[in-house]
A and B are shown apart, each in its own frame.
Chain A
Amino acid sequence: MSAARRLLRFNPRLLQSRTNKRTAAVTGAAATPPHTSVGNAVLFSGSAQCRRPEGRVTVHFINRDGQKITTSGAEGDSLLDVVVDQKLDIPGYGACEGTLACSTCHLILEQEVYDQLGHIIDEEQDMLDLAYGLTETSRLGCQVCLSRSLEGATVRVPAGLFDMRRADSSGSSSSA
């Protein structure tokens, strides 16, 4: 089963995002190859000039080692979709495949972007509670969908992607 179909099956909220993606595909939007940025120099992995067709939103990921990855996704794609579709190198990202059962897709947003995204449902807050390095502008990547207003946003992958439910919490037991 493709990543997209698995996400759809477990997270109805993404239904709209998949519809938008199909619309984008039909209008002839081609995938933009990701390119990485090393300091200020930008190295293009694909053609010298990346076409940015309509319906695509550019986002920058700052990986754990400080490396900046500039990539894009279709409007309506979640940030998890972008990581998966563009095969970004973030080990262990999105373990539960977008079903609000882990916190491994945790990302730190810019304040303005965080503010404009608005209300966070309890189920996401519950998983964020367990995210390592939680900040005031943290979100789960599987719950943030791309829109025009996210164009050019920068998101940061936090230092350690593990839940707070770990061995050194006193008395905590396990489950999954």
Chain B
Amino acid sequence: MLLMTCKPDRATLKYRFCQWSVCGRAPFSSCSPKVCIVGAGPAGFYTAQHLIKSRQDVEVDIYERLPVPFGLVRFGVAPDHPEVKNVINTFTQTAQHSRCSFYGNVNVGTDVSVKELQQAYHAVVLSYGAEGNRRMGVPGEDLAGVHAAKDFVGWYNGLPDNRKLHPDLSCETAVILGQGNVALDVARILLSPMDMLKKTDITQPALDLLAESRIRRVLIVGRRGPMQIACTIKEVREMVNLPDTRPEMVAADFKGIAEAVKEVPRPRKRLTELLLKTALDVPTEKEQEKRSKASRVWGFRFFRSPVEVLPAPDLSRAAAIRLAVNRLEGSGEGASAVPTGEVEDVPCGLVISSIGYKSLPIDPLLPFDSRKAIVPNTMGRVQKTAGVYCSGWLKTGPTGVIGTTMNNSFDTARALLEDMDSGALDVSSAKPGSQGVTPLLEKRGVKPVEFSDWEKIDNEEIKRGVAMGKPREKLLSVDEMLHVART
């Protein structure tokens, strides 16, 4: 038996139908469940995508602090990895879906509270990622010349908050702490020939500064050994093949590795074999020629942890980094670094700390695990908070690539859908959705940026890029973005 009721739906005045459940039980309404997602990066978009695809009635609104969407796909992925940004195409399709709306320039936590979102929507999904850094926690960390990798990457990728970074690239040696893929991205951008970089969407100010860079040597430092390195083989191969560079490793770091590598799983084996080959093998004639002509040097340094950043004599900036020498206890992925008591000083003028991003709490009423820096959850359901979910790095911690986040987000969406189906999430009473939020924003003087406004920004960036021979020239400040969005 079907009961038709009419409910006006948004400005389009589309009418939805409600259904009686079978078996004569109390009727429940399944009309337009409304979900809001906080954060328009890959986690937010993949969660939205899965929800919209799985139920024909669910409506999703995505709120984003910046006027522009896509999160780390825009601000984290290296400029010379444009193919990884192809996911923007599928996110754009989702944003343009009739049941999806984008609200940029809205800061959840200051412009609107999570509680207000919970009142307006049946479910809230937190997908705002990791805006903070893990600190090294060593003296001298705040000297000029020391930067978090997240900020350095944000600077060359045009993140508004990092546009004034202006790193000093006048020294000869840069030391990067951490050996994950972010560390390798930073090394590669510091050492890439200008010919390569100038064709990417790296920001023009970054390009101009890198063109004047005097950095000729980049050391990528890790606490443990070659078999614990956190980066992946694609990025190592890019370093090995980087034009006008040569590798410089310490042969002693590889003692015993050739034997140990025989027993490990394929990914670790292939990566270690590439490291061994690069560090120890006699190069081919062609490779030898490349190395002898190279003007820039890169290398991994193992078994080293930062203990202090040493200042220049005038105390104004970093001049060296003091590293503790470690030995390895145990083997394989779980091996740990134990200090030997020895230290080593490495002169350098640029120190980049690439030891992890960190999520931050946005609302004191929500649970937050400050040790792990995540929102405590079970399968994406936020603990002790009905109707609130999380996906992406906020859920599992700040590691993994877009593909990882995709599966993570699909899992959260599945949990949410399960809860809708089972009744654990009550979608029986109508909720106002964005109509309950936009009046609050208006009262507070906040004007959201819609997806069509982002498209104006997008077109402007592409247009400016054409003039520079680049895929786009990013707008660098929120003010400029809003100006273009409102025109």
Contact = CB atoms under 8 A, between A and B. Distances in A.
B272 to A, nearest CB: 12
Interface in B54-98: 72-73, 76-78, 81-84, 86-87, 89-90
B397 A99 contact: no
A95 B184 CA distance: 22
Contacts of A130: 232, 267, 403
A101 B233 CA distance: 12
B403 A95 contact: yes
B185 A175 contact: yes
B183 A173 contact: yes
Interface in B197-235: 224, 228, 230-235
Nearest to B130: A174
Interface string B402-418: 11101110100000000
B399 A101 contact: no
Contact of A170 (B183, B333, B393): B333
A175 B407 contact: no
A9 to B, nearest CB: 9
A98 to B, nearest CB: 9
B368 interface: no
Interface string A141-176: 000000000000000000011111111011111111
B178 A173 contact: yes
B237 interface: yes
A104 B180 contact: no
B389 interface: no
A129 B334 contact: no
B406 A97 contact: no
B181 A100 contact: no
Given A103-B403, A167-B404, A172 B267 contact: no
A96 B224 contact: no
Contact of A101 (B81, B178, B184, B334): B81
Chain A: number of interface residues, binned into ranges: 35 or more
Given A162-B406, A171-B224, A175-B185, A96 B266 contact: no
A126 interface: yes
A97 B84 CA distance: 9
B47 interface: no
A51 interface: no
B383 to A, nearest CB: 18
Interface in A96-149: 96-97, 99-104, 122-123, 125-127, 129-130, 134
B399 A97 contact: no
A101 B234 CA distance: 9
B104 interface: no
A30 B324 CA distance: 67
Given A126-B233, A163-B404, A166-B400, A173 B354 contact: yes
Give the most central of B50, B86, B237, B397: most A CB within 10 Å.
B86
Contacts of B312: none
A10 interface: yes
Nearest to B46: A92
Given A96-B83, A129-B270, A176-B84, A169 B399 contact: yes
A173 B180 CA distance: 5
Interface string B144-187: 00000000000000000000000000000000001011111100
B356 interface: yes
B87 A175 contact: no
Nearest to A103: B403
A51 to B, nearest CB: 31
A6 interface: yes
B180 A96 contact: no
B201 to A, nearest CB: 14
Nearest to B223: A171
Given A91-B50, A162-B406, A175 B181 contact: yes
Nearest to A164: B267
B86 A174 contact: no
A162 B404 contact: yes
Contacts of B178: 173
A166 B408 CA distance: 10
A87 to B, nearest CB: 12
A137 to B, nearest CB: 14
B237 A176 contact: no
A169 B231 CA distance: 11
A33 to B, nearest CB: 21
Contacts of B247: none
Contacts of B334: 170
A138 to B, nearest CB: 11
A159 to B, nearest CB: 11
A95 B87 contact: yes
A173 B182 contact: yes
Contacts of A103: 403
Contacts of B271: 129
Nearest to B233: A126
Contacts of A172: 180, 230, 399-400
A91 B180 contact: no
B400 A125 contact: no
Given A162-B403, A174-B182, A176-B401, A123 B83 contact: no
B267 A176 contact: no
B87 to A, nearest CB: 5
Given A126-B234, A129-B233, 5 more contacts: A92-B406, A165-B181, A166-B399, A167-B400, A173-B398
24 contacts: A1-B89, A10-B86, A91-B53, A92-B46, A92-B407, A92-B410, A95-B406, A101-B83, A102-B403, A127-B234, A129-B232, A130-B232, A163-B404, A170-B333, A171-B228, A171-B230, A172-B180, A172-B399, A173-B180, A173-B355, A174-B398, A174-B400, A176-B77, A176-B84
Nearest 8 A/B pairs, CB to CB = A173-B180, A175-B181, A99-B83, A129-B267, A162-B407, A167-B396, A97-B86, A101-B83
